[in-house]
């Protein structure tokens, strides 16, 4: 996926979130509130580098809220 091909859309403000949909299933991911707060508090390049190294050591479950949709008939699915 690339921005140039139009596969990605960037919106300013709000909570970072990504949604994938293959026509049958969906997957949505966003940072946990605690992780988002830590990122928002970064004020220097060096602090950002340190935080990136710390976050790199965490598991997906420690970083992200992950939601999966089922089949198209499911009301949990998110169509893009």
Block residue for tokens 């949990």: 76
Query: pLDDT of 24-79, one tens digit each?
Result: 888 888 899 999 999 999 999 999 999 999 999 999 999 999 988 754 444 444 44
Residues 57, 32, 20, 49: is their CA dihedral positive or negative?
negative
What the block records as the tokens of 19 is 């949604």
- Exposed/middle/buried for residue 26 (C-beta within 10 Å: 0-12, 13-18, 19+): buried
pTM of the predicted model as reported, rounded to 2 decimal places = 0.66
Asked if 77 and 38 touch (Cβ cutoff 8 Å), the reply is no
- CA angle (33 as vertex; 28, 36 as ends), nearest 5: 90
pLDDT confidence of residue 13: 75
β-pair partners for 20: 27
């Amino acid at each position: 996926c690339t921005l140039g091909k139009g596969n990605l859309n960037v919106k300013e403000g709000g909570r970072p979130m990504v949604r994938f949909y293959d026509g049958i299933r969906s997957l949505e991911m966003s940072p946990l509130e605690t992780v988002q707060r830590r990122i928002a508090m970064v004020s220097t390049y060096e602090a950002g580098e340190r935080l990136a190294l710390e976050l790199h050591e965490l598991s997906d479950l420690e970083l992200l809220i992950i939601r999966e949709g089922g089949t198209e008939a499911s009301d949990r699915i998110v169509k893009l």
